[in-house]
Amino acid sequence: MSASLARGLRSPIRRILNISQQSREISTSLIHNDTIVVKNNDDFVDKVMNSDRPVIVNFHAEWCDPCKILTPKLRELIEPLDNLDLAVVDVEDHAELVHTFEVKAVPAVIAIRDGLVVDKFIGLVDATMIENLIKKLSGNKPNKEKEKETAS
């Protein structure tokens, strides 16, 4: 990633950090098998941007039919991994995050490592694209590939 792109990606993060420092809300995130349900900006900074592990962030909405397909698929593929987390952000509740990460449509998925956006996609994509993103971030092969190797 180029240095100018990295600086550009850090700029929106500073904005979130400033907002989260002003926030007086108590963080009430729920973590289930490494799925982070983002409750506020502080939560996002603590659990996603400052995470030691890479995080795939799924921006979704309850009214979005493709999201109803993608979100469970992401959970199915990511929850068994111990070196990658999934964060779920409801766009209706987190307009500031939507604006900061320039989410124009849902579902939108961004991959974050060491506080930087390293990849993203928008919309319902095929399983191979999702699995490649997971593989790229986690260094692990998705479960289907592991099963094929075990059967060989």
User: Helix, strand, or coil here: 147?
Assistant: helix
Assess whether 106 carries a catalytic annotation. Answer: no
Q: What is the DSSP string of 64-82?
A: -HHHHHHHHHHHHHHTT-S
18: left (phi over 0), alpha (psi -120 to 50) or beta: alpha
Residue tagged active-site, from 49, 56, 67, 88: 67
Residue tagged active-site, from 36, 64, 87, 130: 64
- Give how far Cα 74 sits from Cα of 9, 28, 79, 80, 99, Å: 24, 22, 8, 11, 23
Backbone dihedral angles phi then psi of residue 95, each to the nearest 5 degrees:
-60, -35
Nearest-angstrom CA–CA distance, 92 and 87? 15
Nearest-angstrom CA–CA distance, 105 and 126? 17
Assess whether 2 carries a catalytic annotation. Answer: no
Catalytic residue list:
64, 67
